[in-house]
């Protein structure tokens, strides 16, 4: 897309060598011609006026006008009276193949419904509140707020987070024990690399769970990755102990993807394991803000601050694009984590951190969560109602929190075949089998996300595939 300039015109990279012996006009013509041919000057790109370019290069205006006229005659440039000189639409020819740009993977739109999990309702993102917070920060912050920030995060946000996490999640934290990160992925990467540098050579993770990404992350840090089975009480701590790992990633408040809550006795067993093994528990608190018909489950970190690293993010509560998260870590790990953050990107965007702090302090963050929780509760109810109407015999679990459910299919169901047929009908379904790393035969299940799926789409989607779900 060509740049539109409001002032005297764009700057242009052209050099004139007065010692080369080549004519000044020919140098200018050759450089502009090459820039157009190579694509450095794109189609319809505006060039500086002859007055501006002659001034910038120390050339006569007539010479630049003659150069422009010659390139117009050759078809490289176009110009109309009262309009800027621009690169002709047919003039740009790239002489070399450019490497393909990385493409952001966007799931295909499905005609009826998409039950993809892990994504909040992007339409609920509090745009006006965020714009207000950014404006407030820009209006009231001192000049020092626009400098390079502290690698571990803005002090104000860390203080606000310490208070918020203590109030809402029973986290035992101070501002000095929190590091602000660019989302959950960076936080987890920092922790894994710090543990690997500390001599831990294996990372355990829940199965089913994010096995593929965990295997890659552990391998990149020189660690092994070990899946540990999850049952109706959460992570099997006995199996974890037998694995020999000294670090484990868990989702205790709402296990991903089964939706079970780590039982009280398992919590105590897990903490005892960490103390006996000199191990570390990494707690992913990914969707704890959203609960419906159960009492809140406090953070595991509050029970053992010396053994638990707690990770949080606003990706589910506000929007993934903000890339704002945090970690709360034991004192002994903080120097390595802070150093890792500094090397990774120096610091997360300071104005966004201050905006988040402003949202929380103003009460707008809590207000947004109440609105979002009510909307997700309505979608949850719509999903339950649609399943009860169309497939009343099937069991649904994992719905006490978050915005996904687990549908237990008939034993004879073929997950892959069902998912393929549903997609042909315009409905996106996702099986649990692909989320397992432990070999074996497991009962067929679907993970039904409803965070970014409106009520009408939920009802239509279930009705469309009801015969497939019944088997």
In this structure, is residue 451 part of a structural domain?
A: yes
Q: What is the pLDDT of residue 84?
A: 82
Residues 348 and 419 in one domain: no
Q: What is the pLDDT of residue 345?
A: 93
Tens of pLDDT along 279-325? 999 999 877 777 776 677 889 999 999 999 999 999 999 999 999 99
In this structure, is residue 52 part of a structural domain?
A: yes
| Entry pTM | 0.83
Residues 307 and 201 in one domain: yes
Residues 342 and 194 in one domain: yes
Residues 188 and 333 in one domain: yes
Residues 414 and 351 in one domain: no
Q: What is the pLDDT of residue 4?
A: 42
Residues 230 and 341 in one domain: yes
Taking the CB of residue 355, how many other CB atoms lie within 10 A of it?
Answer: 24
- The parent domain of residue 372 ranges over 113-119+367-470
Number of structural domains (the chain) is 3
In this structure, is residue 425 part of a structural domain?
A: yes
3 state SS for 129-191: HHHHHHHHHHHHCCHHHHCCCCCCCCHHHHHHHHHHHHHHHCCCCCHHHEEEECHHHHHHHHH
Query: Which CATH number covers residue 436?
Result: 3.90.1150.10
Residues 458 and 318 in one domain: no
Q: Does position 3 have pLDDT exceeding 50, yes or no?
A: no
d(CA 263, CA 271): 12
Residues 312 and 396 in one domain: no
Residues 344 and 432 in one domain: no
Average pLDDT over residues 221-239: 95
In this structure, is residue 108 part of a structural domain?
A: no
Evaluate the CA torsion angle 289, 170, 347, 220 in order and state its sign: negative
Q: What is the pLDDT of residue 159?
A: 98
Nearest CA to 114 out of 437, 430, 341 is that of 430
b/e map of 31-57 (b: 16 or more CB within 10 Å)?
Answer: bbbebbeebebeeebbbbbbebbbeeb
Residues 330 and 193 in one domain: yes
In this structure, is residue 153 part of a structural domain?
A: yes
Q: Tell me the chain's radius of gyration from C-alpha atoms.
A: 29
Tens of pLDDT along 315-332? 999 999 999 999 999 999
Label residue 110 by pLDDT band (50, 70, 90): confident
Residues 245 and 323 in one domain: yes
Tens of pLDDT along 195-224? 999 999 999 999 999 877 889 999 999 999
Query: Which CATH number covers residue 8?
Result: 1.10.10.10
Phi and psi, residue 340, nearest 5°: -65, -40
């Amino acid at each position: 897309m060509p740049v539109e300039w409001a002032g005297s015109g764009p700057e242009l990279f052209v050099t004139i060598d007065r010692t080369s012996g080549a004519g000044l006009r020919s140098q200018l013509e050759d450089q502009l011609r090459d820039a157009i041919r190579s694509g450095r000057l794109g189609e319809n790109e505006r060039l500086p006026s002859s007055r501006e370019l002659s001034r910038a290069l120390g050339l006569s205006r007539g010479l630049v006008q003659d150069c422009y006229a010659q390139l117009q005659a050759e078809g490289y440039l176009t110009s109309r009276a009262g309009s800027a000189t621009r690169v002709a639409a047919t003039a740009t020819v790239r002489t070399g193949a450019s490497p393909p740009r990385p493409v952001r993977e966007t799931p295909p739109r499905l005609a009826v419904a998409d039950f993809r999990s892990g994504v909040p309702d992007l339409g609920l993102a509090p745009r006006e509140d965020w714009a207000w917070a950014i404006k407030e920060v820009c209006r009231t912050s001192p000049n020092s707020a626009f400098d390079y920030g502290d690698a571990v995060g803005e002090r104000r946000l860390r203080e606000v987070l310490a208070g918020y996490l203590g109030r809402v999640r029973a986290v035992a934290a101070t501002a000095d024990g929190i590091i602000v990160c660019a989302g959950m992925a960076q936080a987890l990467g920092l922790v894994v690399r710090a543990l690997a540098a500390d001599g831990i050579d294996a990372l355990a993770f829940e199965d089913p769970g994010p096995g593929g990404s965990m295997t890659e992350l552990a391998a990149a840090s020189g660690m092994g990755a070990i899946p540990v089975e999850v049952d109706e009480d959460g992570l099997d701590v006995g199996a974890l102990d037998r694995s020999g790992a000294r670090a484990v990633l868990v989702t205790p408040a709402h296990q991903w993807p089964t939706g079970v809550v780590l039982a009280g006795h398992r919590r105590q067993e897990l903490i005892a394991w960490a103390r006996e093994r000199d191990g570390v528990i990494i707690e992913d608190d990914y969707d704890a803000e959203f609960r419906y018909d159960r009492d809140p489950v406090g953070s595991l970190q509050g029970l053992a601050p010396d053994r638990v690293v707690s990770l949080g993010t606003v990706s589910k509560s506000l929007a993934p694009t903000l890339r704002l998260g945090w970690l709360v870590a034991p004192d002994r790990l903080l120097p390595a984590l802070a150093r890792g953050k500094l090397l990774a990107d120096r610091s997360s965007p300071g104005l966004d951190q201050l905006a988040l702090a402003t949202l929380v302090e103003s009460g707008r963050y809590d207000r947004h969560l109440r609105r979002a929780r009510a909307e997700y509760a309505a979608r949850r109810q719509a999903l339950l109602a649609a399943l009860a109407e169309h497939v009343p015999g099937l069991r649904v679990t994992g719905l006490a929190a978050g915005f996904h459910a687990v549908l237990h299919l008939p034993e004879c169901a073929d997950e892959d075949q069902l998912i393929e047929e549903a997609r042909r009908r315009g409905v996106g379904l996702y099986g649990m089998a692909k989320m397992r790393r432990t070999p074996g035969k497991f009962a067929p299940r679907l993970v039904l996300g409803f965070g970014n799926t409106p009520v009408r789409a939920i009802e239509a989607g279930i009705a469309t595939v009801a015969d497939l779900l019944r088997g």
